[in-house]
Amino acid sequence: MFFVTYLRRELRRRMRQAIFIALGLALGVGLVVTVAAASAGVKKAQSGVLKALYGVGTDVTVTGAVPGPPAAGQQVHKPIRLGPDGPEICTTSGSCTSAAGKTVDTMITQYSGISDSRVAEVARLHDVATAAGGISLQDSSVTFGSSASSPPLSSSSLTLDGVDTRNLSIGPLSTASLISGHAFTAADTDSDVAVVDSGYATSSNLRVGSVLTIDQVNFTVIGIVRQAQAGNPPDVYIPLAQAQAMSVFPSSLASEVNTIYVSAASAADISAVTTQIERLLPGTTVTSQSSLASEVTGSVTSAAKLANDLGKWLAILVLIAAFAVASLLTMAAVARRVAEFGTLKAIGWRTRRIVAQVLGESMVMGIAGAALGVGLGFAGAAIIARVAPELSGVVSANTGPQASQPAGGPGPGGGPGSHTVSVPLHPSVTVGVIVLAVILAVAGGLLAGSFASWRIAKLRPADALSRVA
Amino acid sequence: MYKLTGVTKLYQKGRRTVAAVAGLDLVIEDGEWLAVQGKTGHGKSTLLNLLGGLDRPTQGTVELNGTNLGTLRETQLTRRRAESIGFVFQTFNLIPTLSAAENVETALMPLRTPAAKRRSQIASALDSVGLADRASHLPSEMSGGQQQRVAIARALVKQPTVILADEPTGNLDEDTRDDIIGLLERLWRQRGLTLVLVTHDTSIARRAQRVAVMTNGRLTIHQATDSGVPPIGGTLV
């Protein structure tokens, strides 16, 4: 193993230079790995934002059109008006009574209804795995003071999702974890039962078995869930049929849904499924995770830009610099060994044998750089995971079914009608990135060796030996 | 046998063209010891390079055993050097990171000699120069004389027919010089090598069978008498 002995001894002789070259390559490669890991983490966070809105397995969401303002001259039922003696509650027949001490409950839908027969039509489309209908509502209560000493007005609201209890694999409950009680079953389709979000249960002092009154119907709490993502999940989930039966403003949703959750047969089919649904249901809003991704703003988007633009170019620049330094140092080392190579040529070594020796030395430095670089990349990813703040994704309420506020109302994070989801950043180093890192580092070493090899190939032994003499 | 006919080697030095060797005719018989003397820059090393196939003449022919070296491709020249020509340099030119045995082994690598045969040839070569006990020592752990012995072993290990030595004692003290020349002479006699030795030292040159003097690229042959061996031949120029 003369080749290995010569290689090993030569690297040991110029250990400092070899370490320097390997470190340079490691730095470039480490940066590539870290940026790729951060990018992957941000993508995962973006996906987490979307999953928080649509749930696991939901590829496409169809929502009804946003209800427009009433037409000129159209009779609109106003449940509350200001009468001569103060606020009054009015019935649909037009008779009004004093609102003092009374509570007005208004169930609002953000989206117009879609006939629930359309859900089955969507499910039958080509490349659709499954489809389920849902209703998203906001229940606002206003209680008027009964006397001059009591507060004139107090309000509360809760968000409500009607879910298809026969198909919970997609939709808002698909990401939830059950923490007490039990989930819906198909038998609950027509039952007055509810599953509540853990945050709402705590704030409203609800537990399994509690009774919750919504739109004058008593629902028994059968389960309490926690959503996987720290988004703004609805407070209460009830069977779809019960949601359809509610008195909804501006119009009833009987036999209708206002959201259809769709799962495609494969990721490659999502685009085709989206097109089919748009043709089948014109006038609705059809969004997929990828179309929603472009509407997500907030720190998750900034982080994505940082990783993809600045991070990518920084990694490329550092890699180029590392390659250049490695090449220069290797050529300098070859220049110092001109007499050695001239002697070897003189005693009968072919150029390619000498080149193989130099390339072997370069490759060892490249492999060392790769190993160090992957280690640095892992360390970089770990540092990012430790110090990076939680990211937030802000989506306009009009583009997702889990609206936390009615359209036009103030949002918690991003402005009017917006919906904020917080997701952690978990950078991840994949096997593909490790392979890329190794290839880059070895390529860098070989590139450096190639420049030096070119020099060796052009070396005339007589010239090389005359320099020593 | 070497036969040089009308050999000229020109170099460009800036705008000037310099004739390192000019119109040289020379025959070196098999087994002959030819010493080449001359001042620095008068073409001695250039002549050695032409004989070793390290350089090609601008004009004329250099024949070794009937083959015109100037017509061979680079790979063929390299092969010829690997098989038939051993070099000994003034500055030893050992690989500093390799031991004595490994330096000798570098001469056998191009011949793809099997490992076992390689080991025995290396041991024999080091033994012939009196360095069997230094096989594992690095050049930095040896004296100048010992390093030159290793270089000689490297030149001899492949059983060449020609040894070209360029000032082999130039970097050595007087006593060591005598040892090295004595060694070369002994090996020349024992193996019937063709030995071409470049030297400044007249006392060394006179030990050869013939002395050639290079002056401004031109060669003059003188007969030597101290060798105790009748001159084989030569061409008076």
B72 φψ region: left (φ > 0), alpha (ψ -120 to 50), beta (else): beta
Please tell me the distance in Å from A322's CA to the nearest CA on chain B.
27
Residue A452's Cβ-side half-sphere holds a number of Cα atoms within 13 Å equal to 33
- Name which of A9, A350, A461 is nearest B110 (Cβ-Cβ): A350
Q: Do A348 and B110 make contact, defined as CB atoms within 8 angstroms?
A: yes
Model pTM score: 0.66
Q: Do A6 and B154 make contact, defined as CB atoms within 8 angstroms?
A: no
First to last CA, chain B: 19
At A278, the amino acid letter reads E
At A190, the amino acid letter reads D
pLDDT at A407: 33
Q: What is the DSSP string of B83-150?
A: HHEEEE-TT----TTS-HHHHHHHTTGGGT--HHHHHHHHHHHHHHTT-GGGTT--GGGS-HHHHHHH
CA pair distance B35, B139, nearest whole angstrom: 28
- Name which of A2, A10, A461 is nearest B97 (Cβ-Cβ): A10
pLDDT at A111: 85
Could you read off the pLDDT tens digit of each residue along chain A, which spans 469 residues?
899 999 999 999 989 989 988 898 898 888 888 888 888 888 777 777 666 665 556 788 899 887 766 666 655 555 677 777 777 877 767 788 887 777 777 888 878 889 989 999 999 999 999 999 999 998 888 888 876 666 677 788 889 999 999 988 888 888 788 999 999 998 999 999 999 999 999 999 999 999 998 888 899 999 999 986 545 788 999 999 999 988 777 777 788 998 999 998 887 888 899 999 999 999 898 988 776 666 666 777 777 777 777 777 888 888 888 888 888 888 888 888 888 999 999 999 999 999 999 999 999 999 999 999 999 999 998 998 888 777 776 666 554 444 333 333 333 333 445 566 677 778 888 888 889 888 888 888 888 888 888 888 888 888 777 765 4
Residues 6+ apart with CB under 8 A from A310: none
Domains annotated for chain B, with CATH where assigned, are: 31-39+73-223 (3.40.50.300)
pLDDT at A78: 57
Please tell me the distance in Å from B107's CA to the nearest CA on chain A.
6
Which DSSP letter does residue A251 get? S
Q: Token pair of A359, please?
A: 């390339």
What's the length of chain A?
A: 469
Q: Do B95 and A465 make contact, defined as CB atoms within 8 angstroms?
A: no
Residues 6+ apart with CB under 8 A from B116: none
Chain A residues within 8 A of B82 when measuring between CB atoms = 347-349
pLDDT at A396: 61
pLDDT at A409: 32
- Name which of B75, B87, B96 is nearest A350 (Cβ-Cβ): B75
Please tell me the distance in Å from B53's CA to the nearest CA on chain A.
9
| DSSP H stretches of helix in A337-460 | 338-346, 351-387, 431-457
Please tell me the distance in Å from A333's CA to the nearest CA on chain B.
14
pLDDT at B138: 95
- Name which of A12, A340, A462 is nearest B95 (Cβ-Cβ): A340
Among residues A212, A226, A363, A395, the alpha carbon closest in space to that of A298 is found at A395
Q: Do A10 and B110 make contact, defined as CB atoms within 8 angstroms?
A: no
pLDDT at A364: 92
CA–CA distances in Å: residue B19 to residues A129, A275, A459, B164, B224: 88, 84, 22, 22, 27
pLDDT at B232: 44
CB A422 within 8 A of CB A232: no
CA pair distance A86, A93, nearest whole angstrom: 20
Q: Do B45 and A461 make contact, defined as CB atoms within 8 angstroms?
A: no
CB-based contact, B171 to chain A, within 8 Å: no
Mutate: best of B83, B89, B111, partner A, most A CBs <10 A? B89
CA angle A68, A417, A267 (to 5 degrees): 90
Q: Do B81 and A466 make contact, defined as CB atoms within 8 angstroms?
A: no
- Reported as a pLDDT band with limits 50, 70 and 90, residue B230 is very low
B163 sits in which H/E element: strand B162-166
Please tell me the distance in Å from A25's CA to the nearest CA on chain B.
25
**What is the percentage of chain B residues whose pLDDT exceeds 70?**
94
State how beta strands A236-239 and A153-163 pair.
Answer: parallel
Q: What are phi and psi of A33, to 5 degrees?
A: -65, -45
Chain B residues within 8 A of A344 when measuring between CB atoms = 95, 106
CA pair distance A81, A102, nearest whole angstrom: 13
CB-based contact, A461 to chain B, within 8 Å: yes
| Burial grade of B116 (CB within 10 A; 0-12, 13-18, 19 or more) | exposed
Q: Is B43 helix (H, G, I), strand (E, B) or coil?
A: coil
Among residues B233, B178, B235, the alpha carbon closest in space to that of B207 is found at B178
At A146, the amino acid letter reads S
CB-based contact, B198 to chain A, within 8 Å: no
ipTM: 0.90
Q: Do A349 and B109 make contact, defined as CB atoms within 8 angstroms?
A: yes
Per DSSP, which regions of A215-311 are E strands? 217-227, 236-239, 248-249, 256-257, 259-264, 285-288
| Range B151-173 average pLDDT | 92
CA pair distance B28, B194, nearest whole angstrom: 8
- Reported as a pLDDT band with limits 50, 70 and 90, residue B157 is very high
CA pair distance B205, B211, nearest whole angstrom: 6
- Name which of B96, B102, B111 is nearest A5 (Cβ-Cβ): B102
pLDDT digits (tens, 9 = 90+) for B93-118: 999 999 999 999 999 999 988 999 99
Per DSSP, which regions of A164-216 are E strands? 176-181, 193-197, 211-214
Q: What is the DSSP string of A344-379?
A: HHHTT--HHHHHHHHHHHHHHHHHHHHHHHHHHHHH
Mutate: best of A7, A353, A357, A465, partner B, most B CBs <10 A? A465
CB B235 within 8 A of CB B87: no
CA angle A56, A60, A62 (to 5 degrees): 120
CB B52 within 8 A of CB B2: no
CB-based contact, A460 to chain B, within 8 Å: yes
What's the length of chain B?
A: 237
Chain A residues within 8 A of B105 when measuring between CB atoms = 2
- Reported as a pLDDT band with limits 50, 70 and 90, residue B231 is very low
Chain A residues within 8 A of B165 when measuring between CB atoms = none
- Name which of A2, A353, A466 is nearest B45 (Cβ-Cβ): A466
- Name which of B49, B74, B81 is nearest A347 (Cβ-Cβ): B81
pLDDT digits (tens, 9 = 90+) for B185-227: 999 999 899 999 999 888 888 889 899 998 888 888 876 555 5
For chains A and B, what is the number of CB pairs under 8 angstroms? Answer: 81
- Name which of B45, B54, B106 is nearest A344 (Cβ-Cβ): B106
